[in-house]
Amino acid sequence: MEVYEHSTRFAGYRVVEWRPGHPLAQAETTAYRIGQAWDEKHALPWPAKLDAFLADPASRQVPALVVGPWWDLDEGTAGTVELVVSALVAAQARLPSLTALFLGDVVSEENEISWIEQGDLSPLLTAYPQLKQLCVRGGNGLHFGPVQHAQLTTLIVQAGGLSPEVVQDVVGADLPALEHLELWLGTPDYGGDATVADLQPLLAGSRFPRLRYLGLRDSEIADEIATALAGAPILERLQVLDLSLGTLGDLGAEALLASPAIRRLTRLDLHHHYCSEAMMARLQALPIAVDTSDRQAVEDGDDESARFVAVGE
């Protein structure tokens, strides 16, 4: 899922931008995007736009919604995300087919990822017990609280930085059906102060019994995470480990290579990394699919402080 272009597919469905007055076509196989656009003059506030969308009876068949900017792009005036959350919660009975929600399909020309203001999203999970996929972009003000959800299989949180509190909310959640967990941890410059210790309940393997994909992406502490993961019980049941977009170097890669569990994965994704060419060759020799593309410049006497994650601001 790219962060510099609007999504064209979400949860397996093609994404279509919805505009007021346009009837819903093929609603049962389409993810409709509802957001404010640059060319909309005097646009409806986002909750009113959702209400207009729901006036079409076909909206009851929509399986996925993509929420774009909820503020006036031309004027810069913002409706808070709480208004969006409240509108979606109030619409629960009118969206009986909704199983996937992307909150924050916002690209950099609309708002940098580190500037997106989120909020408490726990009411959404309570209101939609049938939800299977939730994707959130933006970490500012983000909060989940104690989460319990029986059906959610995919949780993706994209940010320039995730706070320890958000990471603790996620790894402490009661999500027995979760198969895909993706956290963009980011950098301290943008609120990404979470540490390996915050991830420990997850690494210990006591959470999420059905988890098969683990993405700890876009992290400034990728070497530390890789070292902790190498001997972590969670690794024994994963099929895909994704440490891409971060600052992984030879130290973290060496730890992964020393782990027998790495060889039982089906895929290891490390793209955007700082490994040496010799280390890349060793990784590619593993008997699994390994992505070591997008190698970043590595200088002699590589200084970790000179490494950068792929997505920060």
Q: Are residues 195 and 266 in the same domain?
A: yes
- Let me know how long the chain is: 313
* 1's tokens: 């899922």
- The reported pLDDT for the residue numbered 115 is 87
- Say if CB 135 and CB 118 are below 8 A apart: no
> How crowded is residue 17: how many other Cβ atoms within 10 Å of its Cβ?
13
**What is residue 128's predicted lDDT score, i.e. its pLDDT?**
97
Same domain for 258 and 206: yes
User: Does 136 lie in the same domain as 84?
Assistant: no
Alpha carbon distance 309, 270 (integer Å) = 12
pLDDT value of residue 71? 78
Decide if 169 contacts 201 (C-beta within 8 A).
no
* Cα 103 from Cα 119, distance rounded (Å): 11
Question: How much is the pLDDT for 36?
Answer: 83
What domain count does the chain have? 2
* CA dihedral (162, 117, 176, 145) positive or negative: positive
Q: Is the same domain home to 162 and 21?
A: no
The pLDDT of residue 77: 53
Task: Based on the fold, state whether residues 89 and 160 are members of the same structural domain.
Answer: no
pLDDT for the residue 93: 97
150, 178 contact by CB (below 8 A): no
Together in a domain, 134 and 205: yes
The parent domain of residue 57 ranges over 1-111
Domain final residue pick, 94, 111, 128:
111
10-residue stretch averages of pLDDT, the chain, 313 residues long: 81 94 92 84 82 96 95 64 96 98 90 89 96 96 92 97 96 97 95 95 95 98 98 96 97 98 98 97 98 86 77 81
Strand partners, 31: 15, 64
Same domain for 298 and 155: yes
What was the pLDDT predicted at 108? Answer: 82
Give the pLDDT score at 276.
Answer: 95
